[in-house]
Structure 1
C-alpha cells in the first residue's frame, strides 16, 4: 500500500493557519528565529535532568482506502512531570543549568509531558497564552505518544524562550487520551481531501513517467550525459557538469531527473536558476515533456514585488486588501487552482489571487507545496533569509533533486547570501528617529555607535578584525528591545527606515552565528564615506553543503565550470562529488576563433592609441560581413572610451548600441529586440562582460554572428578582492587565480558562448588582450578551443574574409 508522509509541523501549520498577513508586529522575526531556534533547543534540552528525553522521533500511520498517511516528527522533549490541579497556567524562569522539567510541584500524580520548545524574539513575559499552531504540534505528539504507550492522560508543555535574554515562559495543560483522539481525528479529516488528491495525482504522474521517451534524437555524447545524470541520482551523489552550448544541458538534466522520480528515487525537482531567461527555458522543457505525455504540476516562483497587486507593496491588512484574511481563504484558492492547470503561469496565479482575494506571492508558495517541479532562483534553496522554510526547515531532509543551472553564478551569489553588513550611519539615523519613541533603544544605539566609533578611529581604509568585540553584546540587547517595540503595531513616518535597519540587524546577528574560519571580518570606510563592519563569507562551501544535504542528489551544470576543481571546492565540501566534461556537439568549422596578438587592456596601457587599435580590430570583424555583433568590455569606463573612438570611425557604416548601468526591464527588452529586427546593414552592440547581456541570452541563427571580447574580464581591484586573494594565498592556493583570473575567464567564456547556439549558427569570436596568449590563461580554455588563430590586424582581416567566403560556399 502506498505511503504518504507529512511532518507534524507542516500538518498543523497548514490546517490551523488563519487571519491576516501582517508585517507590522513581532511576527516579523519568526523567520529569523528559526535560524537561532536549534541552538536554544539544544541548550534547554541539555539543561534538563536525566528523566528528560530530547528529540524523540514519533510516528503514526493513518490508514485510508488505498494508502497510508504517515504523520511523523520529533518531539522536542518528553519527561515525567508532577501535576497538581491548581497549577498556574504559566511559569517563568531564566535558563539555568540542571533544570528540572518545568518547576518543583508537590507530587499528586505522575504524568508524562510532551515539551514543545519555541525560540522567539518577543517578550515572553507579555504572552498570555501559547500560539495555537504551536500547541497543536505538541498535541499531535501527545496523541501519538499516549496511543503508543496506552496512557489515559498526558501533559503538554509549551516552553517559550526569548532568544536574546533566554528568559523562559511555560504553559501547561493536561489532556485525556479520549479528548486528543477526537481532536486528532478532526485534524486528519480536514487534511483528508488533500491527501486523497495527492495520492491520485502522484499515481497519474508516475504512470506518465514510465512510458516517457527522450523527446529528441540524441546528439553526440548526449545519451552518455543523460545516463551520467541518472546514475548520479541513483547513487545519491552530486555531479558537476561542464557542458558547452549545444549539448542540451536543460533537457539532459531534467529528463533523467524526471525518470528518476518515476523510479522512486525522489519525489520533487527543484530547478534553480540565476536569471529569468534560464527559468523560462526550464519551464519550456517541462512543457515539452508534457506534450510527450508527462503529467506533473510545475510552478515558477516569481519575486514578491513582481507579483504584488497593489501600487505599493505593504503587506498588512490595513494597506493591502489581499493581506486581510489571506489565511482564511488561501487553502481554497490553492485547491481550486490545482484542479485547473498543470503548468501554472504568472497570469494564472494573478487571476486566481484576484478571484479569491489572497496575496499572489504567498499563494504561489503554497501551490509550490503541491507541485512536482519548482523552478526558482537560487535564493529559495540557499539563502538563509529567503529559503523555502516549508521544504528546508531544520532537521528535514526532503525527497528532492536540485538541478543548479548556470552554477558558476552560485559562487559570488552565495558569498553575498552568507555575508552581512552593519553601517554606523544607519545606527545614528535610527537613533535620531527613536528619540521620539524609546529612550532605552536610543541608549543602546548610542553604545553601538560608540563601539563602532572606536573601530572607525583605527580604520584608515579597511582593517581585518579578529572579532567585533563588545559590539555584538550591544547589538543583541538592541535587537531584543526592538523586538519588544515592534511587537505592538504602531505607525510613524520613518517606520520603514526602522524596519529596514531591524532586518539588517537581525541578519547581522544570524550571520555572526555562522562565522568560522571560512569568514573574514573587516571594517571599512566606503567610497561614499560611510563606515561599515562586514562579515564576509569568503568560502561559502560549508553553508552551501548544509543545503545540498537536504537533497537526495544535486546536479551543478554550466557551459563554464573551468577549472572544475575551483567550483567543486567552493560549492561543496564533499570529497567524492563526481565531475564530467560534456564535449561540444558543434563543429569547429562553424566559427572562427581568433586572438589579437598586439592588444592590451592593462590599466598602464590604456590610452587613445590603444583604444584606436581596439576599434580597428572591431571594425575588421564587423565590416567583413553584415549582421549583428556584440562587443564585450570588462568595465563601463573602458567601453565608453572605446565607443567614442569606434563611433567616430564607423558612424556611417553601422548602427551602434551601448548598454548602460541600471537598465530597467523594458530597456533590456528593447535592447535585445534590436537583434530580432530585419535590417540590411550592421548592428554593433557595446556591452559589459558578466552583465545582463554577457550570459543567459539566446540569439540563434543570424541574430548574432560575432562577439569581440576586449580584456580578460578580471574583476576590478577592490578591498574584497584583495581579501579573497590573501585568504587563499594563506592556504597555499593561488590567491590571484581565485580572486581574479578564474572569475574573469568565466565572464570571457560566457561572452564567447553567445555566438554559436545551434548547429546552423556561424560566427566569429575575437579575443583582444595579449594576456590570453599566456600559459595560465590558455590552461583555462575549453577543449573545443583547440583550433584558434593568433594574428595581427592585417592577418585578421584575411582570416575573417576567408571564413565568411567559406560559409557562403557551404550554403
Structure 2
C-alpha cells in the first residue's frame, strides 16, 4: 500500500498564501505594531484571565484528504468559555483609528480565526462556536470587537474550501519530495574519495542531526567543510531527520562555495531546490527601496501575481540564485525580494546571512515565529558569529539627530518637538555624567527613564509619518523612528548579560545597550530549529566558542587535523622583533628587511598582513621607498566589490604572464584575510605582522571586565582569542590544495609565548624560530630546495 504524502502547513501560512491579494505597501507601520503587538496580546489576555479566558492555545489538526495527510497547526490567541458558550478570540493590534475598521476590514484575519475555530470544534466535538475579532488601538488602548456565530458544518466547509485551493501546491510539494528523496538515496559522495578527516566530519554531522544536538568543529583548510556538512545533512533529509537546511554565512563569497557544492552534487543526480537570499537593497529593481505602490511598479498588484510566478519558477528551476530570481520577477512584474522570501518556503536549502536566523529585527518570521521547526542550521565560518551576535543583540541611540529634529519640528508638529525635547534633556544629563569620567559613563541597569519617552515618540512619529508621506522631513523622522524602534526592541532582551554605556564624541553623545555575552540569546535562537553545526578552520579554542555561542554542556566537539602534508608548508617565527605599539617605529626597518628577505628567496605572490591600516601604511611607505622596484598592491578602506575583484585578480594571474610578482599589503581580519581562495601559484606566502590583538578600546575593555568577573578569562575573551583567530585565518590563505607549497612567517616576539603557542593548531608543529635575516634566509632556502 502506497504511503500517503504528509503536508504540514501552519494556519497563518495557509490563509495568507491562499487569500493574499493587492499591493505591497510601506512596511514601517507594522514595525511598531510588532513591538507593541505582543504587549497588546498580553494585556488583553491578562485582563480577561479571570473571565474564562485561556490564552495561547496550541491547535493541531490531522486529516486524510484527496490522497494526502494534512497536518495543520497554529495557536489561537484565546479561547473564551462563558456560560457554556465557546468563543475563539483573534487579537490584532493596529495603528489605524478604530472608526476605519468594520467587521469586513480583513478577510485573512477572519479566515485565520475561523480555521482555529474549526480545529477547536473537531478536537472538542463542538457543534457551534463563536469567532471574535478583537482590534486593539495602539495609541488609545481602545478595543473594538466583532463576534459571529458559526456552526461546525459552516467552518468545515470554509476550511476545506481553503484546502481545495491549496491542493495544487500540495501535489507540487508531494511530487517534488518523492523525486528529491529518491535522488538523495542514490546520491554518491560527489568526489572520487574522501579526503583525510572528511568522512569523520560527515559522520559527526549526520549523528548530530539525528540526535538533535549542536556540534562545534574546527576543520582546517582543505578538508572540504562545505560538502562534508551539506552531504550528510542532505542524506538525513531523505530519512526524515530534518525538513529544511539553512546554510548560514557571514560573507557573499562563502555562499558561492555552498552553491558550487550543490552544483557538484546535482551533477551526480541530486534533485534539490536551493535558494540564495540577497539583501533587499541589493536585489531591489528600484534606486530606492520604497515598498509601496506609489513608488514601485513591482509593489503594485504584487500579491495578485506572485503565486503564478512561484508556480512558474518551481516547475522550471532548482537552483534559485539571484539572477534566476530577478529573471522571473521581471517576467511577472513582482518584487524580487518578497518573491525570494516566498520561494524560501518551497526550497530544501536556504543559503543566507546569519541575520535571517538570529537577528531579532529581521529574522524570517515565516519560519521562526514559533520555535521548534524541523530545521538544521549549518553555520559556516562560525568564528564570525561572536561579534556579529553582539552587534545583532545590541542597539545604540544618538543625541545629535534628536536635537536637530526637535528644532525642525517646532513649527511642524509641536507635540513631536516637545517629546524630542524631553529625550534631548535626558541625553544631556547622560552627557554630563560621561564628562565626569573621561567622556564615558557605565551602568549595569537599563536606562528605564528613557524608554517611555521613546515609546511616546514612536507613537507620535508613526501617526505623523502615515499622514505626511512626501514631506521634506519624512525621511529624517523615519530614520530616527527606526533607530528608536530598534533600541526599544533590544531593551526587551536586557538582562545581566547587558550593560548600558554612554560615550561622548567631539560633537555627539551615544547611549548603547551593549550585549556583552550573546550566548543566552543565541541558545534561544537555536530553539527555532533542531540541530546546529558550527564549523570553521579557526574555531579555537573549542570550549570558548562553544560557551560564547550558546552551545551548552551537551554539545559535541570535534577537532580535525589538516589533510595536507606538513612538508609542503614552512612556518617560521621571527620572535626577536617586537610589534608592540611603543616599539613599532624602532622595529620598522627590521620588518621591511624581513619582508624583502622572504621575497628574494623565491619569486612569487605574497601578502603581508598588519593589525591596522595605520601600521600597514607606515610599513608600506617605508618598504616602497627602500625597494621601489618591487610591485606592491595595497588594501584600502574605501574598496567596493569591483576594487576587491581587481585586487584579487592581481594575484590570480599566473606569475609567468607578468613581468613581476605581486606583494600585497592587507589588514588582519579584513576582506582579504579570510574567505579568499588563492590556489597554487596565486599565493605562495603570508607574512603576518603582530599577534592581531584588537585595538584597545572602551568596548573591548568592558567585555574584558565582564568576563573577568564571570570566569577570570576577560583578557582571553576580549583580546587574545579574537586576535589569534585573525592570525589563523590569514595564515590559512596559504596552502589551499594538496599540491600547494608555501611559507608562513610570523613576526612578533609574543608568538613564542606559551599562551599563544597553546592556540596554535596541531599542524603548526613543528615550526622554526629565526633570530635574524640570515636565519630566515637559510630556512627559506632549505624549504624551497626540497
* TM-score range normalised by the length of the shorter chain: over 0.9
What is the 5 A alignment of 1:300-379? 300-379=276-355
Q: How has the CA–CA distance of structure 1 residues 164 and 318 changed in structure 2, closer, same or farther, with 3 Å as cutoff?
A: closer
- Return the match for 2:617 from 620, 623, 640: 640
Q: 2:162 aligned with 1:182, yes or no? A: no
Partner of 1:520: 499
Partner of 1:604: 582
Distance 1:297 1:703 in 2: 34
Q: Deviations over 1:563-609 (max 9, x none)?
A: 111111111152211111011111111111001122122111121x4
Distance 1:56 1:671 in 2: 57
- Return the match for 1:114 from 69, 78, 88: 88
What is the 5 A alignment of 1:2-17? 2-17=5-20
Partner of 2:198: 222
Q: How has the CA–CA distance of structure 1 residues 354 and 747 changed in structure 2, closer, same or farther, with 3 Å as cutoff?
A: same
Q: 2:171 aligned with 1:196, yes or no? A: yes
Q: How has the CA–CA distance of structure 1 residues 119 and 418 changed in structure 2, closer, same or farther, with 3 Å as cutoff?
A: farther
**Residue 164 of structure 1 contacts residue 476 of structure 1 at CA under 8 Å; is this kept in 2?**
no
What is the 5 A alignment of 1:589-628? 589-607=567-585, 609-628=586-605
- Return the match for 2:457 from 471, 474, 478: 478
What are the ranges of 5 or more consecutive residues in structure 2 without an aligned counterpart? none
Q: How has the CA–CA distance of structure 1 residues 136 and 477 changed in structure 2, closer, same or farther, with 3 Å as cutoff?
A: same
Partner of 2:236: 260
Distance 1:36 1:319 in 2: 28
Distance 1:644 1:133 in 2: 65
Q: 2:719 aligned with 1:740, yes or no? A: yes
Partner of 2:208: 232
What are the ranges of 5 or more consecutive residues in structure 1 without an aligned counterpart? 83-109, 807-811
What is the 5 A alignment of 1:6-85? 6-23=9-26, 27-31=27-31, 33-34=33-34, 37-48=37-48, 49-81=50-82
Distance 2:602 2:97 in 1: 71
Q: 1:267 Cα shift?
A: 0.9
Q: 1:730 Cα shift?
A: 1.6
Distance 1:354 1:504 in 2: 33
Distance 1:168 1:728 in 2: 47
Secondary structure in structure 2 of the residue aligned to 1:549: helix
**Residues 616-625 or 119-128, more deviating:** 119-128
- Return the match for 2:257 from 273, 281, 288: 281
Partner of 1:89: none
Distance 2:578 2:245 in 1: 46
**Residue 122 of structure 1 contacts residue 483 of structure 1 at CA under 8 Å; is this kept in 2?**
no
Secondary structure in structure 2 of the residue aligned to 1:313: coil
Partner of 1:568: 546
Partner of 2:532: 554
Q: 1:128 Cα shift?
A: 4.1
Q: 1:126 Cα shift?
A: 5.5
Secondary structure in structure 1 of the residue aligned to 2:779: helix
Q: Deviations over 1:667-694 (max 9, x none)?
A: 0111111112232422101001101001
Q: 1:418 Cα shift?
A: 0.6
Partner of 1:805: 785
Q: 1:364 Cα shift?
A: 0.8
What is the 5 A alignment of 1:445-594? 445-460=420-435, 461-465=439-443, 466-488=445-467, 490-526=469-505, 528-572=506-550, 574-594=552-572
**Residue 542 of structure 1 contacts residue 573 of structure 1 at CA under 8 Å; is this kept in 2?**
no
Q: 1:756 Cα shift?
A: 0.8
Partner of 1:728: 707
The two structures, once aligned, show a CA RMSD in angstroms of 1.8
Q: 1:29 Cα shift?
A: 4.1
Distance 1:243 1:707 in 2: 20
**Residues 436-445 or 365-374, more deviating:** 436-445
**Residue 601 of structure 2 contacts residue 781 of structure 2 at CA under 8 Å; is this kept in 1?**
yes
Distance 2:7 2:334 in 1: 28
Partner of 2:221: 245
Q: 1:134 Cα shift?
A: 2.3
- Return the match for 1:139 from 110, 114, 122: 114
Q: 2:688 aligned with 1:687, yes or no? A: no
**Residues 581-590 or 211-220, more deviating:** 211-220
What is the 5 A alignment of 1:402-421? 402-421=377-396
Secondary structure in structure 2 of the residue aligned to 1:731: helix
**Residues 138-147 or 556-565, more deviating:** 138-147
Distance 1:417 1:754 in 2: 28
Q: 1:167 Cα shift?
A: 4.2
Q: How has the CA–CA distance of structure 1 residues 32 and 291 changed in structure 2, closer, same or farther, with 3 Å as cutoff?
A: farther
**Residue 710 of structure 1 contacts residue 767 of structure 1 at CA under 8 Å; is this kept in 2?**
yes
Q: 1:274 Cα shift?
A: 0.5
Secondary structure in structure 1 of the residue aligned to 2:563: coil
- Return the match for 2:649 from 659, 668, 673: 673
**Residue 622 of structure 1 contacts residue 682 of structure 1 at CA under 8 Å; is this kept in 2?**
no
Secondary structure in structure 2 of the residue aligned to 1:73: strand
Q: Deviations over 1:429-472 (max 9, x none)?
A: 22234334322111111111111111111112111123314211
Q: Normalized against structure 1, the TM-score is what?
A: 0.92
Q: 1:642 Cα shift?
A: 0.1
Q: 1:38 Cα shift?
A: 4.1
Partner of 1:655: 631
Distance 2:638 2:99 in 1: 48
Q: Deviations over 1:402-422 (max 9, x none)?
A: 000000000000100010011
Q: 2:183 aligned with 1:208, yes or no? A: yes
**Residue 122 of structure 1 contacts residue 480 of structure 1 at CA under 8 Å; is this kept in 2?**
no
Partner of 1:385: 361
Distance 2:758 2:32 in 1: 44
Distance 2:782 2:568 in 1: 13
Partner of 1:92: none
Q: How has the CA–CA distance of structure 1 residues 744 and 158 changed in structure 2, closer, same or farther, with 3 Å as cutoff?
A: same
Q: Deviations over 1:472-512 (max 9, x none)?
A: 11111111222222333622123121111111111100100
Distance 2:106 2:390 in 1: 36
Distance 2:153 2:453 in 1: 50
**Residue 229 of structure 2 contacts residue 378 of structure 2 at CA under 8 Å; is this kept in 1?**
yes
Q: 1:121 Cα shift?
A: 5.4
Distance 1:282 1:501 in 2: 37
Q: How has the CA–CA distance of structure 1 residues 251 and 406 changed in structure 2, closer, same or farther, with 3 Å as cutoff?
A: same
Distance 1:126 1:595 in 2: 74
Q: 1:40 Cα shift?
A: 4.2
Q: How has the CA–CA distance of structure 1 residues 755 and 45 changed in structure 2, closer, same or farther, with 3 Å as cutoff?
A: same
Q: 1:58 Cα shift?
A: 2.0
**Residue 446 of structure 2 contacts residue 513 of structure 2 at CA under 8 Å; is this kept in 1?**
no
Partner of 1:766: 745
Q: Normalized against structure 2, the TM-score is what?
A: 0.95
**Residue 756 of structure 1 contacts residue 763 of structure 1 at CA under 8 Å; is this kept in 2?**
yes
Q: Deviations over 1:374-422 (max 9, x none)?
A: 10000100111111111111x2421110000000000000100010011
Distance 2:491 2:286 in 1: 35
**Residues 184-193 or 276-285, more deviating:** 184-193
Secondary structure in structure 2 of the residue aligned to 1:459: helix
Distance 1:728 1:307 in 2: 41
Q: How has the CA–CA distance of structure 1 residues 779 and 148 changed in structure 2, closer, same or farther, with 3 Å as cutoff?
A: closer
